[in-house]
Chains A and B, each alone.
Chain A
């Protein structure tokens, strides 16, 4: 089973709202990732968790706050977003952080109004 699940599938939020995106995998993978993807662009890496520790933060604004409660779960907390943050947010996992393929979830399509 190579499934990564993400909830919700769609999210509309105002600029003053607080919301969270959730990601789950049960493949025993020890690396998990958040990406942001705009239309007609490749995914942009936001965060990498390696063995449940944040190992990469690609200078993402603090209105995005990641959390890894355990090895299977990854959250992305959203607060005071801007309309330009509207995008597809993809979660991925890989067996270990380096050298292995990443398996992606279906994404959360976020619209900030």
Chain B
């Protein structure tokens, strides 16, 4: 069975604070892929990152960074020096041996100016 858990339903931070969004996954596949998407109030899902199960290197892209740890089945996302434009719902997703994406329930992030 494939499952993604995002335990944080809503998070509020003050602008310029760092924030980490948690993602824990379950899968029996040995090859799998993890993704993060951002959905701003406009509604469009924006792709942020893809990771495959053989690549545990952390990644940094500007103010965004991702920490993939197979030992804890986690793929956490950190935003450094948050900005109001970061306010959105963030989804973590898993793709395994099939064609489907399994989305977590999402974390709604509000950055307060």
Which residues from chain A sit less than 8 Å from chain B, CB to CB? 2, 31, 40-43, 45, 48, 50, 55-56, 88, 90, 92, 97-107, 109
Contact = CB atoms under 8 A, between A and B. Distances in A.
By secondary structure, the B interface counts as: loop
Contact of B43 (A56, A98, A100, A109): A109
Contacts of A55: 99
Nearest to A99: B33
Interface in B92-113: 95, 97-101, 103-106, 108
Given A99-B33, A100-B50, A101-B35, A106 B42 contact: yes
Contact of A103 (B47, B52, B108): B47
A43 B95 contact: no
A29 to B, nearest CB: 13
Given A48-B100, A55-B99, A100-B50, A106 B106 contact: no
A42 B99 contact: no
A58 B40 CA distance: 26
